[in-house]
Amino acid sequence: MSHHPPLELVSHTADLSKINASVIWLHGLGADGYDFEPIVQQLLQSHRLPNVRFILPHAPEMAVTRNNGYIMPAWYDVYGITPVNKEDEAGIQASQRYINELIENEIKRGIPSERIVLAGFSQGGAIALHTALRYPQKLAGVLALSTYLPLHVKLATEADLANINTPIFMAHGIFDDVISLEMSQISRDLLQNRQYLVTWREYKMAHSVCAEEIADIQHFLQQVLQ
């Protein structure tokens, strides 16, 4: 499966020799890496994340069953109205391998794994959660926005203890009609019952991102990358 090279963003005032952390941020179904570029630019312009590199990958194009087989950027196939009724395990694992490669690439560039955050919105958030909990080295944190935990029945046997104490920020809109608030809450409860450190936020929004959430994201990134 082919991937276009990811978009990379740093502060325009950054000294590239001083970059010491990376955030790999995955977009949602049907979007691309440019989808979150304005929000990342907003975070960078705050000057509170001066030495952070943001990596915004692009999902490969594939036929999405739920959307009548229409070909679009997707991290995995979606079959029904509720994503967890039937899951594309092979597609999820293929995206996991690709994100692992992006992590390894950052490590080769001199960023320790514990200075790397996985972030994602919707389908991208599902891959961020899935990948981080299975990654064999400690990561800095996970941003899981308007999303859920895929393949959760396999977590008990596949999770790596390296990230049992990795902070997870989960956020959801109370009016979300794409991935329901309840579905995300079930994922949150599953993680908390397995002793993961989940910070939970709800916002008065639909399947989107709001200003209050962006401020909370900035605060979380400052905390885990301070």
Q: Which residues are catalytic?
A: 122, 176, 207
Q: What is the 3-state secondary structure (H, E, C) of the chain?
A: CCCCCCEEECCCCCCHHHCCEEEEEECCCCCCHHHHHHHHHHHHHCCCCCCEEEEECCCCEEEEHHHCCEEEECCCCECCCCCCCCECHHHHHHHHHHHHHHHHHHHHCCCCHHHEEEEEECHHHHHHHHHHHHCCCCCCEEEEECCCCCCHHHHHHHCCHHHCCCCEEEEEECCCCCCCHHHHHHHHHHHHHCCCCEEEEEECCCCCCCHHHHHHHHHHHHHHHC
Within 10 angstroms of residue 198's Cβ, the number of other Cβ atoms is: 18
